Structure 1
Amino acid sequence: MMAKWFLLLLALGLLLLWLARRGRAASGLPQGRVVYTDTGGWNRLERSLFSQEFLLTGKPDYLVAEGADTIPVEVKSGRAPALRLRPSAGSGHRSGQAQPYPSHILQLAAYCLLVEECYGRQPPYGIIKYADRAFEVEYTPALEDELLATLDDMRADLADGDASRNHDEPRRCQACGYYERCSQRLM
């Protein structure tokens, strides 16, 4: 009788382990310990990550400890983009492959830069998780250069006081925090 209970508990334990691993794989998170999440109540970061050198601040949705590395994870509620013909310069994706939107890649690169400055070790990659798939984006020197050039461009636009709209999408205008004050809005 005791052997039957033992086997039943063992089978139940294995089933729960399998379900947990399956859930982890479906989440798009790498193996490792979730250091914090900005998506709910547990392990919240007290303050945003901040870079004194680059005057940059941000909070990725997750930070996952994977060995000695800290991996930033950004979760997007929409579906992954369709096939893109031209990759972002430092994205690590080749032409003709599906890849994240360039703005999402740069956002993740900013989190990689912040993790490096705040935790003292450069993450080898970050993850962008869409509703239907996840992308591992290698944090390369080319991607870091693209990020720093973009930050320089943004600072120059701020100093000029006049940044031009860079799209023709009314829905993006509607979602913008400057919509009510923008002279270039589409609606």
Structure 2
Amino acid sequence: MIWGGYALGLGFVLLALALALWWRSGVLAEQTGLPDGRILYTDAGSAWMTNDEALYDPQLRLVGKPDYLVEEADGSIIPVEIKSGKAPPEPWESHLYQLAAYCWLVEREYEIRPSHGIIQYKDRAFAVDYTDELREDFLDLLTEMREDMYEAELDRDHNDWNRCARCGVASACTQRLG
């Protein structure tokens, strides 16, 4: 009879532990900023599921590796880009165009146009609609960038000291701010 009481008590403890772990997994999943669905692809450094294959559009010669692609219950595929910094009041323009590129690549690779994508900052997520306007702006920017590739020198397009300080080509730049 004593062993039965221990077994029953142990069963309650294990049940309580299982419920606590289940609740904690839900909290952690919510903190990731990922939408509900099946993860199709990740390049976020998680060793259990990293995908070395980049998405590629041969017509535009565009390559990209979103942090996550999540397939929702309705079959839509949502690209998710994770940013390590705190969220600005609105997503940075460069982040919007990066997400638009991933939406474009999903459309080409999976033949499903995403309705939106997600930019997840450290403290906030933005769901960004993949509108016709964003799509066209992205394609126009890509065209402009390709045209600029053949210019001998381009003018700096900002007055942001922090941006210049973090720039990968600052040592060779003749227009840097600092």
Q: TM-score, normalised by structure 2?
A: 0.86
Q: SS state of the match for residue 159, structure 1?
A: coil
Q: Distance in 1 between matches of 2:63 and 2:115?
A: 20
Match of residue 36, structure 1, among 22, 37, 41 = 41
Q: SS state of the match for residue 165, structure 2?
A: helix
Which residues of structure 1 form unaligned runs of 5+? 83-98
Q: Deviations over 1:13-44 (max 9, x none)?
A: 22222111111111111111222322222322
* 1:25-174 to 2 correspondences below 5 Å: 25-40=30-45, 41-67=47-73, 68-82=75-89, 99-174=90-165
Q: Distance in 2 between matches of 1:65 and 1:3?
A: 42
Partners of 1:36 and 1:42 within 8 A in 2 = no
Distance apart, 1:126 and its partner CA: 0.9
Q: Distance in 1 between matches of 2:48 and 2:145?
A: 34
Percent identity of equivalent pairs: 45
Q: Which has the larger radius of gyration?
A: 2
Q: Distance in 1 between matches of 2:164 and 2:54?
A: 26
Q: Distance in 2 between matches of 1:10 and 1:124?
A: 41
Q: Distance in 2 between matches of 1:115 and 1:155?
A: 21
Q: Distance in 2 between matches of 1:156 and 1:168?
A: 23
1:12 is matched with 17
Partners of 1:35 and 1:43 within 8 A in 2 = no
Distance apart, 1:109 and its partner CA: 0.7
Q: TM-score, normalised by structure 1?
A: 0.83
Q: Distance in 1 between matches of 2:52 and 2:131?
A: 29
Distance apart, 1:52 and its partner CA: 1.1
Q: CA-atom RMSD, angstroms? A: 1.8
**Cα 1:161–1:44 shift into 2, 3 Å:** farther
Q: SS state of the match for residue 160, structure 1?
A: coil
Partners of 2:82 and 2:120 within 8 A in 1 = yes
Count of aligned pairs between the two proteins: 171
Partners of 2:81 and 2:120 within 8 A in 1 = yes
Partners of 1:125 and 1:136 within 8 A in 2 = yes
Partners of 1:48 and 1:57 within 8 A in 2 = yes
